[in-house]
């Protein structure tokens, strides 16, 4: 009693071998119900997971979602083993605040959006760049470098 959320555990053992986001099954299916009423929920990571180097990506579970609830996870410290039955996330129920605002039915289609499509882009003619001077012994060369390209390695030749 007094807990705001309900713990959610993994149904399989998983080893995170890289820093990519992965989906873990929970065996929990929507719709989520509180007192017989379908409710939405926030899926949040437990603090104990974060202390072990596991990041749980928060998510919104719609009240009309009927598929399996999965946990999006990643780590900055591969190889990280997540044992089967690990309680790494929690569902925090939310009341339906907007009544009759949408005609969209979520069903079992997860990891999408019920609103208008959104596209995030950066115009190629205005990428964040800066001039960098590379010096080795007595030779220098100035190059234009792309900032935060997302690459793990930069190779110059």
Is residue 64 flagged as an active site residue?
no
Which residues, other chains included, contact 72 with Cβ-Cβ below 8 Å and sequence gap of 6+?
Answer: 21, 22, 23, 56, 57, 59
Q: One of 18, 62, 148, 152 is an active-site residue; which one?
A: 148
Active site (catalytic) residues: 148
């Amino acid at each position: 009693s007094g807990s705001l959320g309900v713990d959610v555990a993994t149904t399989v053992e998983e080893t995170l071998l890289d820093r990519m986001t992965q989906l873990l099954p929970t065996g929990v299916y929507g719709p989520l119900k509180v007192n017989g009423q379908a409710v939405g929920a926030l899926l949040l990571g437990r603090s104990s997971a974060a202390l072990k180097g596991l990041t749980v990506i928060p998510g919104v579970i719609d009240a009309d979602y009927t598929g399996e609830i999965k946990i999006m996870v990643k780590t900055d410290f591969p190889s990280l083993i997540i044992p089967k039955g690990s309680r790494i996330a929690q569902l925090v129920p939310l009341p339906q605040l907007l009544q009759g605002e949408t005609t969209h039915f979520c069903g079992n289609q997860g990891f999408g959006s019920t609103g208008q499509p959104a596209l995030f882009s950066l115009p190629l003619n205005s990428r964040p760049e800066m001039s960098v001077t590379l010096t080795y012994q007595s030779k220098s060369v100035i190059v234009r470098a792309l900032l935060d390209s997302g690459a793990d390695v930069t190779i110059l030749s």
